[in-house]
Amino acid sequence: MPLIRCAVICAAVVATPVLAEQDSAELAKKLSNPVAALISVPFQLNYDQDIGPAEDGEKWLLNVQPVVPIELNEDWNVISRTILPVVYQDDIAPGAGSQTGIGDVVQSLFFSPKAPTSRSMMVVLPSRTIIR
């Protein structure tokens, strides 16, 4: 559990000054554009309870999902999206105790034009799962 708390606090500290410097209208415009040059680090926290054979186990799963656009040239971007699952579980199997760790990391790269070409958008989607 301390690992999850540390990740959430670090992300909040890093993201706050960057967002404070942006003009709110400009930021709203960038947020509505899926190919904007805007770094985001969303978190997804899931909690499961009453799991395992005895139904007394619990599991916390925090997905850290940074999205980073990288400029290739004046017309194209590569958008990198990583999914890093951080897991804490307790009493899943009888006598197993608790475990904390990192799950399988998924790395996706999206090739996208910098500006939308029409109402539709072209994106190429290679993806790779890194299994430890």
Task: Compute the half-sphere exposure of residue 75: CA atoms within 13 Å on the CB side of its CA.
Answer: 2
So what's the pLDDT on residue 62?
A: 96
Q: Which burial class, exposed, middle or buried, applies to 89 when counting CB atoms under 10 A from its CB (0-12, 13-18, 19+)?
A: buried
Quick check: helix, strand or coil at residue 48? strand
So what's the pLDDT on residue 63?
A: 96
> What pairing do the DSSP bridges indicate for beta strands 105-113 and 57-64?
unpaired
So what's the pLDDT on residue 77?
A: 85
pTM: 0.63
Q: Which residue stretches of the chain have pLDDT < 70?
A: 1-22, 29-37, 116-132
